[in-house]
């Protein structure tokens, strides 16, 4: 999932133009970031470039698809709310933000960071100072949830788990 990808990306990133995979990864991390995390990260930037709004934050829906039987043909499960925003930085880069829910500020901040991250001269620093900590926080939340679930794993004491079905 994106969080692991983002963590990996943090270790592998290099100078030069960002690849699509890298951008996908940071956009996934930004989409999952909480509002106050994004605000704090934005406030802590040494400099914030001027930007103009291309598409003001807008609330809409995404139809979530699933598959019959988990692996079969697609069907429409139901929609989810999404907010999107596009803005243009002074340097010319266009940032896009797509976040779940109806928080316009979150979408705007996600778009601003996406724009900034396209700046080759700032990317490494931003990946290190903003994206990596956000990804780590997301991974930590996920890990805690998973460990709580793991505490409810049934331990059958007469059998060795995983032996039966092969």
CB of 23 to other proteins, least distance (A): 8
Helices 132-150 & 35-43 angle (0-180, nearest 10): 150
CB of 83 to other proteins, least distance (A): 9
CB of 138 to other proteins, least distance (A): 10
99-158 binders of other proteins (CB under 8 A): 99-102, 142-156
Nearer to other proteins, 64 or 90 (CB): 64
Residue from 14, 17, 63, 121 touching other proteins (CB under 8 A): that is: 63
19-58 binders of other proteins (CB under 8 A): 20, 23-24, 27-28, 31-32, 58
CB of 98 to other proteins, least distance (A): 5
Backbone angles phi, psi at 165, to 5 degrees: -80, 130
CA distance 15 to 38: 24
CB of 97 to other proteins, least distance (A): 10
CA nearest 127: which of 117, 119, 136, 118?
117
Residues 109-133: b if buried by 16+ CB within 10 A, e if exposed: bbbbbbbbbbbeebbeebbeebbbb
Residue from 42, 67, 115, 117 touching other proteins (CB under 8 A): that is: 67
Backbone angles phi, psi at 77, to 5 degrees: -80, -50
Residue from 4, 40, 90, 120 touching other proteins (CB under 8 A): that is: 4
DSSP state of 120: T
Give the distance, in angstroms, between the CA of residue 136 and the centroid of all CA atoms in the same chain.
Answer: 11
**Would you tell me which residues interact with other proteins (CB under 8 A)?**
1-2, 4, 20, 23-24, 27-28, 31-32, 58-82, 84, 86, 96, 98-102, 142-156, 159, 161-165
């Amino acid at each position: 999932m994106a969080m692991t990808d983002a963590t990996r990306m943090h270790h592998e990133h290099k100078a030069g133009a960002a690849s699509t995979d890298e951008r996908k990864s940071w956009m996934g991390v930004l989409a999952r970031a909480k509002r106050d995390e994004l605000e704090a990260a934005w406030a802590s930037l040494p400099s914030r470039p001027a930007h103009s709004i291309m598409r003001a934050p807008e609330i809409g829906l995404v139809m979530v698809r699933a598959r019959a039987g988990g692996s079969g043909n697609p069907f429409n499960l139901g929609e989810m709310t999404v907010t999107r925003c596009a803005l243009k930085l002074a340097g010319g880069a266009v940032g896009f933000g797509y976040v779940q829910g109806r928080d316009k500020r979150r979408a705007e901040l996600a778009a601003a960071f996406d724009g900034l991250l396209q700046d080759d001269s700032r990317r490494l620093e931003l990946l290190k100072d903003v994206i990596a900590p956000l990804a780590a926080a997301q991974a930590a939340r996920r890990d805690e949830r998973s460990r709580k679930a793991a505490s409810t794993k049934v331990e059958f004491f007469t059998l060795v788990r995983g032996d039966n079905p092969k």
